[in-house]
Chains A and B, each alone.
Chain A
């Protein structure tokens, strides 16, 4: 059984959770994910691993409470056992010396880029992180990112910290002003990754995006996470989750993400208004 060591809300609706998972902690690589089921009734939920400590045998992940299963996850306390946790899953980012790499993170993706920043830096790259949120109080892990990378650029839509606007506008401005990157990696909401890919396309700047489609088993069996890349069907759980953002068919992805919105509302309402299961 996997035990919760620490769990806290580090920004409004952004939760950081550390669990004891020795086997995963010694094997996980940047960009890989786990699948969690908080209790018997919940969905299998894929979540990116954001940090790990092989010596302590722990892994850390960041998640947003966006549905009834992730909400249930927020109710866990240190010492609780998690019903099911599987990983590491998926492929890691390609890690080598590229030169200068821009890492763009938004929402859970700020945590998502952190291990990539650390590993790329160790490989001798110059690492520039773009961390974005609507406002400065929604940013997190600033210090961790600053300690591992050469530069961290912030973007907030209300201008409370760093650039006013979105990171894709910030990256666009930077590219237009002559800043050059050898590779871009974006982790975050689908729309952000889509916009980043649009910005880098004219520069033929290789851009890796970390897809987060709906998954069920996550082990190459069910086919729920299929996406179109360069005209062929790929499965994010085993072929990805990282793909070339210039080759991904974004229309299909943006539509498929919303498939279960109505059911999610039913599930949440039921939980919040009485009929919910007891625990």
Chain B
């Protein structure tokens, strides 16, 4: 075998100066030749660590071997044994924290580009036309309901339907997909990919009811009468704000609102689509996570001359993926680190005009192990801005806890679950994803959906006659 390249085969992408003017996806993905070259970097470890590093336990060396053998059909089949959303995960999973982090090759060189290879197979399959369906399983006669058609719910539904259960799914919004459609922007995850994955789920036999807000149109108690088990994947809830003066001025958005307007409601195509969004010349996004990067990059595409990130700690503590920070920097997002708003100031018509920021320095590490930001006295500064987006997180969705008094809820309004099984305090009711853990990643929600599906299967087979 030829000498292994020390670095990943690079993935071609749209040049930064072009892509800030469109909503098209940024990276193009590997060609078959590039994929095989990258696949050949895999050491095919006898005891691979990457599989355990994957929340949904994909047989990673297995699918890479298929790529190397030029059997892409075999490769995608191998992935789909574990993961129904490879086109999504290949794009948005933080592989550097998971499978690629523990890759043995990564000890001395760059790890194998597992995410890019996963994406390659998913895109290859899309280009072949309609994806193939697995053999229809023997039906168990059990009925299961999944509440919320986001990453957790989609994964749970896919696993359960493939185990032979009848699965119905309720979605509150007018499109299924959860954060994949309302949150993550088109340029990072094209919606056509999400809809294709959802369509696959429907072809597997899952029935999706849109515009159904569970808790309002049906109670959990009613669902328990009708179904043998329930999975709750109702996702993110109300956004957190900074609690500083001026946060209710016009022009101050939560990240959830900003992204929902832009993505789900397609405000970037205004006025063809009628949902408006304020197109600021100078947009400040507060926060340092992936969502903050999405907002700052969306602002540029909506025509902002300046898109600035204010983050209270330093670059090192930023929770966003390196790739996202890198893309944002390339596109011209300005990072003002060790800064946080003290107040927003408006004009007489209540429109945002200025942000007043506090400079910070780093003190001792806090509970999260990151160094705590400490304000520097008398170092406030002001900046004229016309839009601010607060991207500092959100609490779990409140609707099920509010309308289901018998369910146990944690300190942050999250539904209490056993992490090993997804069980809630109500027998037969399981939960996972952001509604159980608070805001996290797509793949962690999918992992929780998978765990819950396994224990729902055990529950309905063992305890329901």
Residues of A within 8 A of B (CB): 23-24, 27, 37, 41-44, 67-69, 83-89, 216-217, 219-224, 226, 228, 233, 235, 238, 251-252, 255-256, 258-260, 263-264, 266-267, 270, 277
Q: Assess the B248–A226 pair: CB atoms within 8 A.
A: yes
Closest CB-CB distance, A236 to chain B, in whole Å? 12
Closest CB-CB distance, B24 to chain A, in whole Å? 21
* Choice from B260, B274, B397 contacting A220 with Cβ under 8 Å: B397
Contacting residues, chain A, for B253 (C-beta < 8 A):
224
Q: Assess the A255–B217 pair: CB atoms within 8 A.
A: no
Contacting residues, chain B, for A217 (C-beta < 8 A):
172-173, 182, 260, 264
Q: Assess the A223–B238 pair: CB atoms within 8 A.
A: yes
Q: Assess the B399–A27 pair: CB atoms within 8 A.
A: no
Distance of A226 Cα from B276 Cα, bound (Å):
18
Q: List 23 A-B contacts (CB under 8 A).
A: A37-B174, A41-B274, A43-B275, A67-B274, A84-B210, A85-B211, A86-B172, A87-B216, A216-B261, A216-B264, A217-B173, A217-B182, A219-B397, A220-B237, A220-B397, A220-B398, A221-B397, A222-B257, A226-B241, A233-B241, A266-B270, A267-B270, A267-B271
Add 12 more A-B contacts to A44-B265, A217-B182 (CB < 8 A). A23-B217, A23-B218, A42-B274, A217-B173, A219-B173, A220-B238, A220-B397, A224-B257, A228-B248, A252-B248, A263-B276, A267-B270
Q: Assess the A266–B271 pair: CB atoms within 8 A.
A: yes
- What per-residue 1/0 map shows which CB atoms of B205-223 lie under 8 Å from chain A? 0000011110011100000
Pick the most buried of A41, A228, A258, A264: most chain B CB atoms within 10 A of its CB.
Answer: A41
Residues of B within 8 A of A (CB): 172-174, 182, 210-213, 216-218, 235-239, 241, 248-251, 253-254, 256-257, 260-261, 264-265, 270-276, 278, 349-350, 394, 397-399, 402
Pick the most buried of A23, A27, A86: most chain B CB atoms within 10 A of its CB.
Answer: A86
Contacting residues, chain A, for B251 (C-beta < 8 A):
259
Distance of A233 Cα from B275 Cα, bound (Å):
24
Q: Assess the A88–B248 pair: CB atoms within 8 A.
A: no
Tell me how many residue pairs across A and B have CB atoms closer than 8 Å: 118
Contacting residues, chain B, for A255 (C-beta < 8 A):
249-250, 349-350
Q: Assess the A222–B256 pair: CB atoms within 8 A.
A: yes
Distance of A267 Cα from B271 Cα, bound (Å):
6
- Asked if A238 meets B276 with Cβ closer than 8 Å, knowing A86-B213, A224-B257, the reply is no
8 closest A-B pairs by CB: A255-B350, A263-B276, A84-B174, A223-B254, A223-B239, A86-B211, A222-B257, A259-B250
Contacting residues, chain A, for B250 (C-beta < 8 A):
255-256, 258-259
Contacting residues, chain A, for B349 (C-beta < 8 A):
255
* Choice from B173, B210, B236, B276 contacting A267 with Cβ under 8 Å: B276
Q: Assess the B248–A221 pair: CB atoms within 8 A.
A: no
Q: Assess the B257–A235 pair: CB atoms within 8 A.
A: no
Q: Assess the A223–B257 pair: CB atoms within 8 A.
A: yes
- Asked if A222 meets B217 with Cβ closer than 8 Å, knowing A85-B211, A263-B276, the reply is no
* Choice from B217, B248, B264 contacting A27 with Cβ under 8 Å: B217
Shortest Cβ distance from B397 into A: residue = A220
Contacting residues, chain A, for B257 (C-beta < 8 A):
216, 222-224
Q: Assess the A260–B276 pair: CB atoms within 8 A.
A: yes
Distance of A22 Cα from B102 Cα, bound (Å):
54
Contacting residues, chain A, for B261 (C-beta < 8 A):
216
Contacting residues, chain A, for B213 (C-beta < 8 A):
86-87, 89, 219
Distance of A87 Cα from B214 Cα, bound (Å):
10
Chief secondary structure at chain A's binding surface: mixed
Closest CB-CB distance, A11 to chain B, in whole Å? 25
Distance of A263 Cα from B182 Cα, bound (Å):
21
- Asked if A43 meets B265 with Cβ closer than 8 Å, knowing A224-B257, A235-B238, the reply is yes
Contacting residues, chain A, for B210 (C-beta < 8 A):
84
Pick the most buried of A84, A86, A222, A224: most chain B CB atoms within 10 A of its CB.
Answer: A222
Closest CB-CB distance, B101 to chain A, in whole Å? 31
Q: Assess the B275–A221 pair: CB atoms within 8 A.
A: no
Distance of A37 Cα from B273 Cα, bound (Å):
12
Contacting residues, chain A, for B211 (C-beta < 8 A):
84-86
Shortest Cβ distance from B212 into A: residue = A86
Contacting residues, chain A, for B264 (C-beta < 8 A):
216-217
Distance of A43 Cα from B276 Cα, bound (Å):
9
Distance of A223 Cα from B278 Cα, bound (Å):
16
Contacting residues, chain A, for B394 (C-beta < 8 A):
221, 223
Closest CB-CB distance, B165 to chain A, in whole Å? 24
Closest CB-CB distance, A21 to chain B, in whole Å? 10
Closest CB-CB distance, B386 to chain A, in whole Å? 12
Contacting residues, chain B, for A226 (C-beta < 8 A):
241, 248
Shortest Cβ distance from B217 into A: residue = A23
Contacting residues, chain B, for A41 (C-beta < 8 A):
272-274
Pick the most buried of B260, B273, B276, B394: most chain A CB atoms within 10 A of its CB.
Answer: B276
Shortest Cβ distance from B249 into A: residue = A255
- Asked if A69 meets B173 with Cβ closer than 8 Å, knowing A222-B256, A223-B257, A255-B350, the reply is no
Contacting residues, chain A, for B249 (C-beta < 8 A):
255
Closest CB-CB distance, B97 to chain A, in whole Å? 26
Contacting residues, chain B, for A264 (C-beta < 8 A):
276
Q: Assess the A219–B239 pair: CB atoms within 8 A.
A: no
Distance of A256 Cα from B211 Cα, bound (Å):
27
Distance of A83 Cα from B211 Cα, bound (Å):
10
Contacting residues, chain B, for A221 (C-beta < 8 A):
182, 235-238, 256, 260, 394, 397
Closest CB-CB distance, A234 to chain B, in whole Å? 10
Contacting residues, chain A, for B239 (C-beta < 8 A):
222-223
Contacting residues, chain B, for A223 (C-beta < 8 A):
238-239, 241, 254, 256-257, 394
Distance of A228 Cα from B241 Cα, bound (Å):
13
Closest CB-CB distance, B271 to chain A, in whole Å? 5
Q: Assess the B274–A86 pair: CB atoms within 8 A.
A: no
Contacting residues, chain A, for B275 (C-beta < 8 A):
43-44, 216
Contacting residues, chain A, for B273 (C-beta < 8 A):
41
Contacting residues, chain B, for A238 (C-beta < 8 A):
238, 398-399, 402
Distance of A256 Cα from B278 Cα, bound (Å):
13
Q: Assess the A89–B216 pair: CB atoms within 8 A.
A: yes
Distance of A101 Cα from B211 Cα, bound (Å):
35
Distance of A24 Cα from B211 Cα, bound (Å):
11
Distance of A88 Cα from B213 Cα, bound (Å):
8
